Structure 1
Amino acid sequence: MKALPVEKKHSSALPRTVGALFVLLLIGLVAYVFLRDGGAPVLTLTPQTGAASYTTDFSLSLTSSRAGLKECVITATQDGKRVEVLRKSFPDKQLAHTENFRLPREGGFKEGPLELSITVRDNALLSFLGRGKTSLVQNLTLDFSPPRLNVTPGIHNVNQGGGAVVSYTVSKPVEKTGVAVGQRFFPAFQQPGGEFVCYFAMPYDMPPSEFKPKVIARDKAGNEATATLTVLAIPKAFKADKLNIPDEFLNDKMSQYTALYPAEKTPLDIYKRVNTELRKQNEAQLLKVAEDTSPTQLWSGPFLRLPNAAPKAGFGDQRDYYYKGEKIDHQTHMGADLASLANAPVPAANSGRIVFAEFFGIYGNCVIIDHGLGLQSLYSHLSEIAVAKGAQVKKGDTIGKTGVTGLAGGDHLHFGMIVGGLQVSPTEWWDEHWIKDNILKHLGK
């Protein structure tokens, strides 16, 4: 009998292996594309006020995680009319870009609603599937009418290094308003009756001929109105002083600051940095403290002076510092030094809220009281601090005791007045007649 032919069985293992490899390859390819592309591009538009004008400065921030930016298109649509505001390509495939732009005047827009549309694309490989694209639609209201200012009339007599106040009304809601003096800006505060009140000052080092304060009001759309104030700028002569820095003072005082300047080897080297660098840092910090202020007035009447105290140094004194006959520095004294008995109680010069109560650089132990509307008083070199930040105090309340902390050469109180972060002459605020003629009169009081 012939043997029957054996049927050969074809193995299916090879096709299954090839299929699995193909699936793995496809998964790997998709994973690579997704990893290569990264997430969709991210865009951020500022400002987000909802109002705009031709002077509104928009800032568009674009980022692409990996694929790199390809194109950005911005269009504006109003009453069915579409205007291309910007079209930008990125041939270098950069990963981040910031674009600043304004609405084009030639677009012929009018006041009212407008739709701002932004589309950004990156170089995603799967762009045909909608990947690599992000869009944003921002609804705006165009406003081309600047606010109208109505400033309370009157001439402002302002001393060099002195303060002043102005009140005014604005015809519409505003985003920013106050008084500009050179590069400085003093913010105004709206009162319950609707009017704005702003304390401002002439810096001690500004020539009176350059003192030209003006009220500024800017609405949410960026429209701005200005009004120049009528002022009589009064020049002041500041005393010149010479201070010798002995080794005894340096050895006694610089231990307070060694941790700040560990690289310095001698007390003199530490002192040079304290009297310049730390002094500037403290001045900058006063600007930050000034932001913590009440929107309404907390004080009344003339400010108190340290009782039974003799004046030792005045505001604006020009100080040359000498060590062993060699001039090592020049600074300006920005307050009034008053000496009474050692560890004498220090009264709050006027009612307000404690906004600072701790060691403060060149000032040593220091208390700052906010009296509202950016007006603050400073008490430094204290041996003791008797109040805490946030506490409400009344005129005459004890807030500490005089001392020698900081750069004090002897027991005394360094008293300062501050307007919007800028130190001004304290003597004005001790004077009831000056307050009546230069502050209350312009507030209608």
Structure 2
Amino acid sequence: MKRLVFSVFLILALAGGAAGYLLLTDRVKPEIALAPDSEVAAPKREFTLTVRDAGSGIKNARIVVSQGDKQITLLDQAFTNPVREAVEKFTLEPAGLRDGPFTLTVTATDRSIANFGAGNTASLSRQLALDTTPPRVEVTSLAHNVRQGGVGAVSFATSEPVETAGVTVGEDFFPAYKLDNGKYFGLYVFPYNMDPKNFAPKVKVTDKAGNSGVGSFRYQAIARKFREDKINISDAFLESKMPQYYDIITDTRDNLQIYLKVNNDVRRQNSVFLKELSQNSAPTMLWDKKAFLRLPNAAPRAGFGDHRTYFYQNKEIDQQTHMGVDLASLEGASVPAANTGKVVFAGFLGIYGETVIIDHGLGLQTLYSHLRQIDVKVGQDIKKGEILGKTGVTGLAVGDHLHFGVLVGGHEASPIEWWDQHWIDDNILSKL
């Protein structure tokens, strides 16, 4: 007994007082979290293991899978230095399991000297089933004719319930939504800057185990040419427009440098925001299946896909692409909602200035920007034709007008198609 007491005091002295006391008195087991929380798994499904210990820190973590008489260690990680939180990613592929039930066990031990120096150990055990069969996809829609810069639609069925479903175009994934009839419906964009030879949309679904199935469908890619435009940036424009960005760009007061940062960095940030906003699109159709409204009595000023080259004092300073349609009417003209939906954004949005975005469901949204006045609020249900605000010159607008955009999965597409009932009937509603 005297030897044990002496050892304890020796440990405290060597560990440096408070730290040694923590090692001795820490009796709280580490926390273990494993994601995803699923009852089935595929060999390539990536798991994320998180172990935490706010006291003495993690000493080691171990992952073992067992199936029948077979036991495989997937991870045996020792931490030399105290670690309060450790995150490890792994798959079941190295285990070489067969389809059917198996057990996954995680253990984590902290660095305390509790339990006679062994530390506190926590364990987590899950009973899962290995599933290596990918879901099958049956495309049920016909006549997929898609114009460059425009939107396509596809409907399909799957052989089993799936976790995610959608359409891949290049590296982009456009979510599909399950309809009341059990089928899936997805909108997707033929990017304006994609070579038609590289346009190859495919349906991709992933089941609850993590197996992916791919379905091909026949389509017709219709190439387009887009207009070239030159825009001169004047000192008067910079002096009048850049102050609205002073609280965003804070490292310079050179108006030309602010403009270039807005036209590039802020533009990219806006693009990311639009994609994030689309993730909460309603899973049902909110619009009335009729052609979308256009700003009344308005003349077009710029088109979708216009490639713009910007000049300052006769020197080229930038290039960008215009991703909407500019419509000019009377100054301060009332802006109607193009179709029924719900307001998901109302406020200042970078290059767009004062902006309203309406969600029409199934990944489809419309954007109204450069407004001088906004008359709606986020969360408000909107009827087709209801006034959203008034046209203006906020953002990077040159002259009073409405910048009208159509978004699918947060990707901007040509709005013109949505003003055409014949196109909607043939290319969207027929897929439903």
Pairs within 5 Å for 1:286-297: 286-297=274-285
- Per the alignment, residue 354 of structure 1 pairs with 343
Cα separation, 2, equivalents of 1:278 and 1:425 = 22
Instruction: Point out the structure with max Rg over C-alpha.
Output: 1
Please list the CA deviations of residues 109-145 of structure 1 after superposition, one character each: whole Å capped at 9, or x if unmatched: 332x322112233444345465332211112233222
SS state of the match for residue 381, structure 1?
strand
Decide whether aligned partners of structure 1 residues 131 and 91 sit closer, same or farther in structure 2, where only a CA change above 3 A counts: closer
CA contact (8 A) 2:34 2:50 kept: yes
Q: CA deviation at 1:33?
A: 5.0
Pairs within 5 Å for 1:138-217: 138-217=126-205
- Per the alignment, residue 81 of structure 1 pairs with 69
- Which is richer in strand? 2
Cα separation, 2, equivalents of 1:104 and 1:373 = 35
| Aligned with 1:275 (options 227, 250, 263) | 263
SS state of the match for residue 251, structure 1?
helix
- Per the alignment, residue 36 of structure 1 pairs with 23
- Per the alignment, residue 413 of structure 2 pairs with 424
CA contact (8 A) 2:134 2:211 kept: yes
- Per the alignment, residue 227 of structure 2 pairs with 239
Please list the CA deviations of residues 289-314 of structure 1 after superposition, one character each: whole Å capped at 9, or x if unmatched: 21231111111211111111111100
Cα separation, 2, equivalents of 1:223 and 1:358 = 41
Cα separation, 2, equivalents of 1:87 and 1:264 = 50
| Aligned with 2:125 (options 132, 137, 140) | 137
CA contact (8 A) 1:33 1:125 kept: no
Q: CA deviation at 1:89?
A: 4.6
Q: CA deviation at 1:330?
A: 0.6
Matched, 1:99 2:88: yes
Q: CA deviation at 1:250?
A: 1.1
Cα separation, 2, equivalents of 1:166 and 1:89 = 46
Q: CA deviation at 1:157?
A: 0.9
Q: CA deviation at 1:86?
A: 2.3
User: Which amino acid is the alignment partner of residue 190 of structure 1?
Assistant: K
Q: CA deviation at 1:405?
A: 1.3
Decide whether aligned partners of structure 1 residues 282 and 104 sit closer, same or farther in structure 2, where only a CA change above 3 A counts: closer
SS state of the match for residue 347, structure 2?
strand
Give structure 2 stretches of 5+ with no counterpart.
Answer: none
Matched, 1:225 2:184: no
CA contact (8 A) 2:61 2:75 kept: yes
SS state of the match for residue 361, structure 2?
coil
Q: CA deviation at 1:94?
A: 5.6
- Per the alignment, residue 43 of structure 2 pairs with 54
User: Which amino acid is the alignment partner of residue 179 of structure 1?
Assistant: V
CA contact (8 A) 1:127 1:133 kept: no
Cα separation, 1, equivalents of 2:358 and 2:375 = 13
CA contact (8 A) 1:85 1:103 kept: no
Cα separation, 1, equivalents of 2:6 and 2:415 = 84
TM-score (norm 2): 0.90
User: Which amino acid is the alignment partner of residue 232 of structure 1?
Assistant: Q
Decide whether aligned partners of structure 1 residues 24 and 347 sit closer, same or farther in structure 2, where only a CA change above 3 A counts: closer
TM-score (norm 1): 0.88
SS state of the match for residue 188, structure 1?
strand
CA contact (8 A) 2:150 2:189 kept: yes
CA contact (8 A) 2:368 2:403 kept: yes
Q: CA deviation at 1:180?
A: 1.0
Please list the CA deviations of residues 139-177 of structure 1 after superposition, one character each: whole Å capped at 9, or x if unmatched: 223322222211114231111111011111122221111
Q: CA deviation at 1:107?
A: 4.3
Decide whether aligned partners of structure 1 residues 87 and 243 sit closer, same or farther in structure 2, where only a CA change above 3 A counts: closer
CA contact (8 A) 2:11 2:20 kept: no
Q: CA deviation at 1:408?
A: 1.1
Q: Which region of structure 1 is more displaced relative to structure 2, 158-167 or 87-96?
A: 87-96
Pairs within 5 Å for 1:338-417: 338-417=327-406
Q: CA deviation at 1:200?
A: 0.5
- Per the alignment, residue 294 of structure 2 pairs with 305
User: Which amino acid is the alignment partner of residue 434 of structure 1?
Assistant: W
SS state of the match for residue 371, structure 1?
strand
Please list the CA deviations of residues 332-372 of structure 1 after superposition, one character each: whole Å capped at 9, or x if unmatched: 00000111111111111111111111111111111111111
Decide whether aligned partners of structure 1 residues 108 and 329 sit closer, same or farther in structure 2, where only a CA change above 3 A counts: closer
Please list the CA deviations of residues 260-295 of structure 1 after superposition, one character each: whole Å capped at 9, or x if unmatched: 123322222221111111111111111122123111
- Per the alignment, residue 13 of structure 1 pairs with none
- Per the alignment, residue 11 of structure 1 pairs with none
User: Which amino acid is the alignment partner of residue 313 of structure 1?
Assistant: A
Cα separation, 1, equivalents of 2:105 and 2:275 = 39
Q: CA deviation at 1:92?
A: 3.0
CA contact (8 A) 2:169 2:202 kept: yes
CA RMSD of aligned residues (A): 2.6
Count of residues in correspondence between the two structures: 422
Matched, 1:332 2:331: no
User: Which amino acid is the alignment partner of residue 47 of structure 1?
Assistant: P
Decide whether aligned partners of structure 1 residues 359 and 122 sit closer, same or farther in structure 2, where only a CA change above 3 A counts: closer
Decide whether aligned partners of structure 1 residues 189 and 337 sit closer, same or farther in structure 2, where only a CA change above 3 A counts: same
Pairs within 5 Å for 1:119-130: 119-128=107-116
Q: CA deviation at 1:218?
A: 0.5
Give structure 1 stretches of 5+ with no counterpart.
Answer: 1-17
SS state of the match for residue 275, structure 2?
helix
User: Which amino acid is the alignment partner of residue 243 of structure 2?
Assistant: S
